[in-house]
Amino acid sequence: MEYRGLTLSANVSMLFTELPYLDRYAAAARHGFTQVESWWPFPGPGATESEIDQLVATIEAAGVSLSALNFFGGDLAAGERGIASHPDRQHELASNVDAITRIAERTGCRLFNLLYGQLDDRWSPAEQQECAVTAIRSAAEGVGAFGGTVLIEPLTEGLNGRYPLLTADDVLALLDGPLKNVDNLSLLFDTFHLGSNGVDLVPTATALARNLAHVQLADSPGRGEPGSGALPLDETLDALRDSGYRGVVACEYKPTTDTETSLTWLR
């Protein structure tokens, strides 16, 4: 499926939630998507062979491609937003990299979103950044073995606890600073998070387009489908396309109605 000259994918963790998780892949296909993405689909950082078998079989049966997958981000429902910066969670991330690798080998997925983690008073921000840099480097090395790229995402201030990455500049300070010698890293350009934090989307998209590996699309306020908020999403997509972005744009929004009705913006 294309929109304004860019290929769209469906994030099945946010779309088609009227259905059980594994049924959403086929629903995405029925609505014209050939590519999908997902948050980490299992409760813990690891995955059994039977769990991976079932996921892969579901993707194959739906006839879609898995274009992006989140690393395990902790207990998202409880408010956690990543474990990379937490020294006491690194064994979980190592287990997750192993599971990610097994999924990637069977699906061809090559983009992986790694949430940084929230600030925690048990460690200083500098200690957490040192831990996060080491973790991101390790994750990039793990997925780099098969051509994968690690995505680093800013999140909306006020909705995600003490998450320290809020803007494109926050992420680029890491990628161009302590991680500058790691090639397979990219800012994840999420219109909702960046726009909600006051980033001017169109000029930022123009400036960064050629260096982006992935884009996610939602309006603000509300994180609903395009047209439900006030962000200049068509103009932003045009700027990305015209400035050289050739990757996928993921529909990662919370429908303000049922998913099928929410897709009318595409028509």
Closest-CA residue to 206 (of 169, 168, 244): 244
Tokens found for residue 176: 């161009």
Residue ranges covered by each domain of the chain: 2-266
| Residue-level length of the chain | 267
Q: What is the pLDDT of residue 108?
A: 98
pTM: 0.97
Q: Is residue 267 very low, low, confident or very high in pLDDT (cuts 50, 70, 90)? A: confident
The residue-averaged pLDDT of 182-202 equals 98
**Catalytically active residues, by annotation:** 153, 252
pLDDT grade for 205, boundaries at 50, 70 and 90: very high
Report the pLDDT averaged over residues 255-261: 98
Instruction: Spell out the CATH class of 2-266.
Output: alpha beta
